[in-house]
Structures are given as C-alpha cells and as structure tokens.
C-alpha cells in the first residue's frame, strides 16, 4: 500500500511539473490604486489553491481538537464513576441476595376426574 501512495504522489508531482513548464507565463493582476502585479501563472494557481485549502484544514483541525477534548472529558467522568480497588486486595463479596420465594403449589382440580369403565 505504501508503494501505491508513493507512486500516486510521484505521478501528481510529475503532472504539476509538466503543467508548470508548459504554462510559465506572466499574468497581470490589477490591484487597488492603479497598481499592477505580475506573477507567474503556476504561482497564482498555487496561491489560489492554498486560499481554498487552508480554511478547510483549519476547520478540520479545530473540530478534531474539540472532539478529542470532549472524549477526554467523557473518559475522565467514566473513570471517576468506576470504583477504585487497591492492588492486592480482593473486592468484597456481593451481599447475598434475598431467598427467592418458593414455587407455587400445584392447584387441585375442582372436580374429580371422570372414570370410564368398559
């Protein structure tokens, strides 16, 4: 699997290098106050990509941090609720349960069974 990841990143790097070589042109960007900035097209595309990825990445990291904090809090609460038993000491046996009631006695029929004679 590691080989496939390396192969994928090498392929992406090769495609980006070919794109950069083929599109190495200057692009004029009009700024405020009559200023004009000239930048390379590959650099401009990289800048726009980062402007889209960085806020998403920051949101992802923030949510991951918040969820890890919530999980740590929940684990602390669970640990506080568990009884602590010192090492080497056997826990006390549970109190004996009350005796169960005896099973109900069988019911007597209200009339005697029919006897059939041949």
Provide the domain count of the chain: 1
Taking a C-beta distance cutoff of 8 angstroms, is the pair 44, 27 a contact? yes
The verdict on residue 116 lying in a domain is no
Helix (H, G, I), strand (E, B) or coil at 98: coil
Q: What residue numbers bound the domain in which 52 lies?
A: 25-81
Taking a C-beta distance cutoff of 8 angstroms, is the pair 39, 26 a contact? yes
The pLDDT assigned to 69 comes to: 97
Where the chain has pLDDT below 70, the residues are: 84-85, 89, 91-98, 108-109, 111-114, 117-118
The pLDDT assigned to 118 comes to: 63
The verdict on residue 40 lying in a domain is yes
The verdict on residue 74 lying in a domain is yes
The verdict on residue 96 lying in a domain is no
| Cα dist from 3 to 8, 9, 14, 16, 17, whole Å | 9, 10, 16, 20, 21
The verdict on residue 99 lying in a domain is no
The verdict on residue 11 lying in a domain is no
């Amino acid at each position: 699997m590691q080989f496939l990841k390396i192969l994928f990143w090498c392929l992406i790097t090769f495609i980006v290098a070919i794109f950069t070589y083929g599109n190495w042109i200057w692009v004029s960007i009009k700024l405020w106050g009559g200023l004009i900035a000239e930048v390379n097209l590959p650099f401009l595309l990289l800048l726009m990509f980062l402007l889209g990825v960085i806020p998403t990445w920051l949101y992802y990291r923030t949510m991951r941090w918040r969820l890890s904090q919530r999980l740590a809090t929940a684990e602390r609460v669970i640990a506080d609720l568990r009884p602590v038993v010192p090492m080497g000491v056997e826990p006390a046996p549970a109190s004996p349960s009350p005796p169960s009631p005896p099973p109900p006695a069988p019911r007597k029929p209200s009339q005697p069974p029919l006897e059939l004679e041949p």
